[in-house]
Amino acid sequence: MGFFSKFFGQKESTHSSPQNRSQHAHKLSPSEDGLEPPTIINRANEISWNAWNKNANNLIKLKNIVISGTTFNNNDGVSRQKILAKMVRWEAVDIIRDSKNAHDKNAIAVYGGMGQIGFINAASAQQMAPMLDAGFTPLAKLSGLFGGNGKLFGCAIDVHLHAPQNAIKMDCKIVGISGKDDNGESRAEIAQELDEGDMIDFDDTYSFSDTITVSGPAGEFGKLGKKDATKVAELLNNSYKYSAYVSDISGYDRPQVFVTAIFWK
């Protein structure tokens, strides 16, 4: 198991605005003979440390989010593969909501300085789109760049989502990992499949209970402590939305897992 998760900066004046970008982001044509970008623009060091980490108490950090659609050409005929070939790790990228996308209402397009490089993968976009729509402010960097030497390019990004002022952040230690779920499966074995950054869900039977189980990609792996469960139930019963992810994990046979959740209306 790996404990490193699998999971904006200012735009150049020579490119279209975010609004124009999102309106056209889904009009693509897959091709291997796309054009080279007319100008090489790298955005290294564009995001300062202070900007990246501001308001840390209301900050969601998502790591290594895989970008899809990197083999397509953009509307101007420029190849995303040829853009990626000229990008450098840790340069700033923009993430732009594309709510009118005919294929995915949660679509989030990703742009470098030379044009669009793809979309946030569908699973991550499903979690991120409601936050962006609710006013979370994103900053993003290219955290992974793969391929070259005859292989197709792929990439991943790190995203910091700065929550609105009225958002509530909770850091919770998960308990009950040593037990079994309702199907008799070992929660510890399920927890061993987790990575930092994995999105998690709370169960939906919290209304009249102080027990709230927690599930990740592989299933239920524990529950919230009583104090945290009471607070989460109160927020959810008052129509707060939330997004939560694994913020820290250690150990193997007896994993310790911490999750961070942001609640907002």
Q: What is the pLDDT of residues 27-75, one digit of tens each?
A: 444 455 799 999 999 999 999 999 998 877 778 888 899 999 999 999 9
Q: Are 252 and 193 in contact (CB under 8 A)?
A: no
| Tens-place pLDDT, residues 202-245 | 986 655 567 899 999 999 999 999 999 999 999 998 989 888 98
Q: How confident is the model over 171-184, as a mean pLDDT? A: 91
User: Given this model, what pLDDT does residue 10 score?
Assistant: 32
> Which residues 6+ apart lie within 8 Å of 153 measured at CB?
70, 81, 84, 85, 145, 146, 147
Q: Tell me how far apart the alpha carbons of residues 235 and 5 are, in angstroms, rounded to a whole number.
A: 28
Q: Are 215 and 200 in contact (CB under 8 A)?
A: yes
More confident residue, 26 or 180: 180
User: Given this model, what pLDDT does residue 208 score?
Assistant: 53
User: Given this model, what pLDDT does residue 58 score?
Assistant: 78
DSSP conformational letter for 50: H
User: Given this model, what pLDDT does residue 17 score?
Assistant: 41
Length of the chain: 265
User: Given this model, what pLDDT does residue 206 score?
Assistant: 55
Backbone angles phi, psi at 123, to 5 degrees: -65, -45
Q: Are 194 and 218 in contact (CB under 8 A)?
A: yes
Q: How confident is the model over 162-187, as a mean pLDDT? A: 90
User: Given this model, what pLDDT does residue 19 score?
Assistant: 42
One-letter amino acid at 42 equals N
Under the banding of pLDDT at 50, 70 and 90, the label for residue 129 is very high
pLDDT at 189 over 90: yes
Q: Tell me how far apart the alpha carbons of residues 91 and 49 are, in angstroms, rounded to a whole number.
A: 13
Closest CA to 221 of 198, 261, 191, 258: 191
| Tens-place pLDDT, residues 2-28 | 323 333 233 333 333 444 444 444 344
